[in-house]
Amino acid sequence: MNIALIAHDRKKEEMVNFVTAYEGVFHGHQLYATGTTGQRIMDATSLKIHRFMSGPLGGDQQIGALVAQNEMDLIIFLRDPLMAQPHEPDIIALLRLCDVQGIPVATNIATGELLVKALDRGEFAWRDLVHKYKPGENDVLG
């Protein structure tokens, strides 16, 4: 599974603690993160993470591009709802793309934990079918 990990500044420590707690679940999956979040997770764990740019510098949009291509399976995005974000339009666009593509996304630790436990139980195997179907390639005209 392709999993993106994003955290606003005041949520980065919470994300590091969360990923550390579930490190065993995340092993064996392809992990992506915005710049600083990814570095902090790699510093605290043995996980390998493909790092994009920082969110305000376009990292959210880079992850959004994978979502738009239906190449992302799960996103944990610990948002700080009490702090204005200078790149709020990018955040809203990313969440909208997740809704369009049907990508499971958690924006807080409680929902993140539910998704990770479901991941551990294999409940996202349906995403494998999504990857096999490419619009236009498998369409049957009748």
Q: What is the pLDDT of residues 57-101, one digit of tens each?
A: 888 899 999 999 989 999 999 999 888 787 788 889 999 999 999
Q: Is there a contact between 34 and 59 (Cβ–Cβ < 8 Å)? A: yes
pLDDT at 55: 84
- Position 135 scores a pLDDT of 58
Three-state SS at 51? strand
Residue 142, pLDDT above cutoff 60? no
Q: pTM, whole model, 2 decimals?
A: 0.88
- pLDDT for the residue numbered 72: 95
Q: Is 70 helix (H, G, I), strand (E, B) or coil?
A: coil
Does 120 qualify as catalytic in the annotation?
no
Domains contained in the chain, CATH given:
2-132 (3.40.50.1380)
Of 60, 90, 120, 128, which one is the catalytic site residue? 60
Helix, strand or coil for residue 91? helix
CA distances from 116 to 4, 27, 32, 95, 140 (A): 12, 12, 15, 19, 36
